[in-house]
Structure 1
Amino acid sequence: MPKTSNGETPFSLTYGTETMIPAEIRVPTQRTLQREGRVEEDLRLNLNLAEEMSEEAVRREVEYKKKIERYYNARVMEVKFKKGDWVLREKDASRKEDQGKLGPKWEGPYQVIWAGDKGAYRLADSTGKEVPRT
């Protein structure tokens, strides 16, 4: 099946030609009747065009990734905390022992005591003691 991102099948990108299932080879179809006698010629032509085909697939894949990025960025909401905000943090950050899948996923509340430009924060618990690994 052709990939959505580049419009080509992995086989065609690797070998420079499309696949034919055994049923197409045994039972004459329009596709096999057109190719009779021209197989060698077609394979040589496909090998010459393989590089161009892969370059085109790369171009389409880049366009597809940009489209996905625009879609994601249009819907994501950036959240920035400032000094004094109360937040929760993921339990994994504290590296405490795992309590299983029914255990809490978040811990806190913690107060932001310092907020960096790029999303780095220092947190303190409710008594004012700074929390490690934030």
Structure 2
Amino acid sequence: MTRSYKDWSSKLPFALWAYRTSVHISTGATPYSLTYGMEAVLPIELKIPSLRILMESNLSESEWASIRHQELCLMDEKRLKAVYHVQDYQCRIERAFNKKVRIRELREGDMVLRES
């Protein structure tokens, strides 16, 4: 992608765009959709219209506004679903961690490292 590490700042917007429009395992959604209540329009969709873009282009402004209002009303529900997804994800991570943990019991006389 790059031959020099000095131009990292010019690549940063592309990295941020990829991060914000990718589905995250922990939430099950994209950060963009949790912020704005809808999926982002990808740059390729402007050149080669997707079904979503074609459907939106045929709507009148009032129809589009009412659909957008409905999406915004459902945004709290979507965020709540993401919170439940995060809690479930944390439980799965905890179970995976706890499988590998060995419980040690210290008794008087055991040698331990003491930090002063």
TM-score > 0.5, shorter chain as reference: yes
> Larger % of helix: which?
2
Residue 30 of structure 1 corresponds to: 51
Structure 1: 5+ residue stretches without partners: 95-134
% same residue: 35
CA deviation vs aligned residue, 1:76-111 (integer Å, no higher than 9, x gap): 11212111112334xxx33xxxxxxxxxxxxxxxxx
Instruction: Give the letter aligned to residue 2 of structure 1.
Output: V
Residue 79 of structure 2 corresponds to: 54
Equivalent residue for 2:102, pick from 45, 68, 77: 77
- 1:65 Cα offset (Å): 0.6
Equivalent residue pairs, number: 91
Residue 64 of structure 2 corresponds to: 39
Residue 12 of structure 1 corresponds to: 33
Mapped to 1, the partners of 2:111 and 2:46 lie a distance apart of: 69
Residue 67 of structure 1 corresponds to: 92
Residue 128 of structure 1 corresponds to: none
Instruction: Give the letter aligned to residue 31 of structure 1.
Output: R
Instruction: Give the letter aligned to residue 105 of structure 2.
Output: K
Q: Which has the higher contact order (CA 8 A, sep 6+)?
A: 2
> Larger % of strand: which?
1
Point out 4+ residue stretches in structure 1 off by more than 6 angstroms. none
Q: Tell me how large the CA RMSD over aligned residues is.
A: 1.7
If the length of structure 2 is used for normalisation, what is the TM-score? 0.68
Mapped to 1, the partners of 2:23 and 2:67 lie a distance apart of: 20
